[in-house]
Amino acid sequence: MTSTQKKILILFGIVSLLLLIAFTLIFTEKGFYTYYKMKNEKERLQFEIDSLKRVNDSLRTEIELLQTSDEKIEQVAREKYGLVKPGEKIYKFEK
């Protein structure tokens, strides 16, 4: 084997090794691609958690108002169930 052939063989070995290392770093279970997917999933889940916390806080506030405020109970009874006080007239407008 000549000196040039040995250099080409060594270069081929080094390039092959570097490609194997790059593939391992990118596509294995603990690689960058998996890390990137998990990071995006974490951000999506955090956004969903924050959104659900806001909804939960809103519902807690509504529950507290319904437990303590006669005006809120009256508002819900009128808006949701269409209840009226005696003697009141209801006017419905078509859209």
**Helix and strand numbers, DSSP H then E, in the chain:** 3, 0
Please give the Cα distance from 93 to 14 (Å, whole number).
80
Question: Structural domain boundaries of the chain?
Answer: 1-29, 31-84
2 token code pair: 């000549």
The angle, 0 to 180 degrees and rounded to 10, between the axes of the packed helices 32-68 and 70-81 is: 110
Whether the CB-CB separation of 11 and 18 falls below 8 Å is answered with: no
pLDDT in tens, 50-69: 999 999 999 999 999 999 99
Q: Does residue 1 have a pLDDT over 80?
A: no
* Predicted local distance difference test score (pLDDT) of residue 20: 92
67 alpha carbon, distance to own chain's centre: 32
Residue 1 or residue 21, greater confidence: 21
Please give the Cα distance from 30 to 48 (Å, whole number).
25
pLDDT in tens, 3-52: 888 889 999 999 999 999 888 888 787 888 888 999 999 999 999 999 99
